Amino acid sequence: MISVIIPAYNHEAFIGAAIESVLDQTWQDLELLVIDDGSTDNTAAVVKGYTDSRISYYYQENQDAYNTINRGLSLAQGEFIAILNSDDIYALDRLNRLVEEQKETGAACLFTDVIPVDDQGAVFADPAFGWNIWHKKNRAFYRKCTDLYTAFLKGNFMVTTSNLFMTAEAVAQVGKFCSLRYLHDYDYIFRLMLAHPDGVVYLADEQLLYYRIHGGNTLGEAAIIGREQDQELILKYMLKTIPDDLHHYVSAGSERLVELERELCAVRQQLDGGCGEPSVRELSKQLSDAVKYKVKKKFSR
């Protein structure tokens, strides 16, 4: 009934826990597709050490995460499709709970809150931990605005591809993951919301996924490229909510806001050696609100 796809790359230390969290689910009617994206460590040996007939293992030359997931989607046979990155872990009742909720709501996609853990599986419980501050801010904004699409423009509180649980029908409609190295999950949830405006459900009060935070997914190249992709995604999906004849207002204004933030950062560095708190996204929201107000006035005449 459920196809779980694990895209794997050099996670010999974590993939065993990921696999076991799927096999030990209270919901047992599933297949587990492990797509090894050219791992050079002992990932293959770990996977092949499991004899459960529900596991299928596939190896390919390294093609990046989005292509690996797309191959899994092409192989999936289930009524529902879930994804689990090879360093994350499902809570043991996750799939059962999501199936229950889907049957009750008819949702095309569901996701839950997450629990951040370190390399050893210890929970990052300190409220002052940077990731917790970021995630709390995004969730607080969602609770304030109560609209998923608007809240996702503020930040990706789904957090990870591992959080996606979808009907096979919805996946067929939305299609493949795009070729964004760091934000293919962020792009995909926007596409799901556009295809199913009332069909994406957030179980905000249920933490059913352990999200691994370690040296491989914090700072580095992603700190720059991820934010550049983030800028492009926010503009793209902000424009999707606005009539075509008003796109030029948002595009021009958003570009100027980004320029202003860079200029302000340069000035602050000269004056006090720091950029302060970035405010592009907050300013972008103000611009979006202003354009939406103009649209409402235009069509209410």
- What does the chain come to in residues? 301
CB 58: neighbour CB atoms within 10 A? Answer: 15
What pLDDT sits at residue 257?
83
Domain containing 165 — which CATH number?
A: 3.90.550.10
Question: Are 37 and 65 contacting, i.e. CB atoms less than 8 angstroms apart?
Answer: yes
- Domain match, 119 and 268 both: no
For residue 32, the cross-strand partners are 4, 55
For the chain, the farthest-separated pair of C-alpha atoms sits apart, in whole angstroms, at 68
Q: What domain count does the chain have?
A: 2
- State whether residue 209 is helix, strand or coil: strand
208 and 90 within one domain:
yes
One domain, residues 33 and 174: yes
- State pTM to two decimals: 0.85
Q: Are 80 and 102 in contact (CB under 8 A)?
A: yes
> Span 87-104, mean pLDDT?
98
Domain that holds residue 57: 2-219
Residues 178, 130, 152: CA angle, nearest 5 degrees: 40
Tally: H helices and E strands in the chain = 11, 8
Whether residues 77 and 198 share a domain: the answer is yes
Q: How confident is the model at residue 269 (pLDDT cuts 50, 70, 90)?
A: confident
Evaluate the CA torsion angle 286, 109, 11, 16 in order and state its sign.
Answer: positive
* Residue 281 vs residue 207, higher pLDDT: 207
User: In terms of domains, do 112 and 178 share one?
Assistant: yes
